[in-house]
Amino acid sequence: MGYRLSKIYTRTGDAGETGLADGRRVPKDHPRVEAIGEVDTLNSQLGLLLAELAQQQTTCPGLLEITEALTPCQHRLFDLGGELAMPEYQALQAGEVERLEALIDRWNEEVGPLENFILPGGSRLIAQAHVCRSLARGAERRCQALNAIEPIRGVGLAYVNRLSDLLFVAARLIARRQGIDEVLWQAAPKAPGE
C-alpha cells in the first residue's frame, strides 16, 4: 500500500461525502463507509483490550498467550479495512481464518462447554473482551449489508465472524485465568401468583 497522508484535513468531506481509494465520492453513510467505520471502531477497542491485557500480565502471566494471539488481529483488521476501502486490494488470507479457528478450538477445550448464558462483566478485562466481541458482530453486520449491494471477498466476512467467536472465548479464558467467576444470567423473578 503506497498511500500516505500528508495532510490530515482536506475539507472535502464537509458536505457529507468522502472519497474512496478508487476515486469515487460517496455519502459518509454509504454501506462501504459504514463497514470501514465499524471495523475501525472494533480495531480501536481491540487496542484498548490489548493495552489492558499488557498491564495485567505481570500479575497474571496466563494472559500473555491471549495478548500474543490477539495482537495480529489488529493488523488483520487494518488489512480488512484496506480491502473495504480499496476493493481491488487483497490482503487477508484464508490461513488467518484457520488460525482463529485453531485458537477457538484450543481455548474452548480449556474453558469447557458453556452451560449457562453469561453476561459481560466480572473484571474490566472480561467486559472489554465482550465489548470487542459485540463490536465484531456489528462490523460483521455492516460488512454483510455492504456485501448485499457490492459483493466483497468471503475471507473478510469469515474473518470478522470468527474473530467475534474468538473474542467470546477469549473473554471466558480471561475469566478462567484471572480466577474470576463468570457472571451468569439470571431470569427475572416471577411475580407472585405466576
pLDDT tens sequence across 105-123: 999 999 999 889 999 999 9
Terminal-to-terminal C-alpha distance of the chain:
63
Query: Positive or negative, the Cα torsion across 119, 73, 104, 151?
Result: positive
- Which pLDDT score is estimated for 103? 98
In tens, the pLDDT along 26-66 reads 768 789 999 999 999 999 999 999 999 999 988 999 999 99
Query: Positive or negative, the Cα torsion across 24, 29, 34, 36?
Result: positive
Contact 92, 72 (CB under 8 A): no
Q: Work out the average pLDDT over 60-89.
A: 95
**126 has a pLDDT exceeding 80:** yes
Q: What is the mean pLDDT of the chain?
A: 90
User: What pTM was computed for the model?
Assistant: 0.88
Joined together, the cell numbers standing for residue 181 give 467467576
Confidence band, pLDDT 50/70/90 cuts, at residue 1: very low
Window from 1-5, 13-17, 56-60 with minimum mean pLDDT:
1-5
Confidence band, pLDDT 50/70/90 cuts, at residue 135: very high
**8 has a pLDDT exceeding 90:** no
Q: Which residue has the higher pLDDT, 95 or 191?
A: 95
d(Cα 51, Cα 65) in Å, to the nearest integer? 14
- Which pLDDT score is estimated for 141? 98
d(Cα 192, Cα 194) in Å, to the nearest integer? 6
CA dihedral 105, 142, 7, 79 (to 10 degrees): 30
Confidence band, pLDDT 50/70/90 cuts, at residue 9: low
Topology given in CATH for the domain delimited by 17-181: Hypothetical Protein Ta1238; Chain: A; (1.20.1200)
Confidence band, pLDDT 50/70/90 cuts, at residue 102: very high
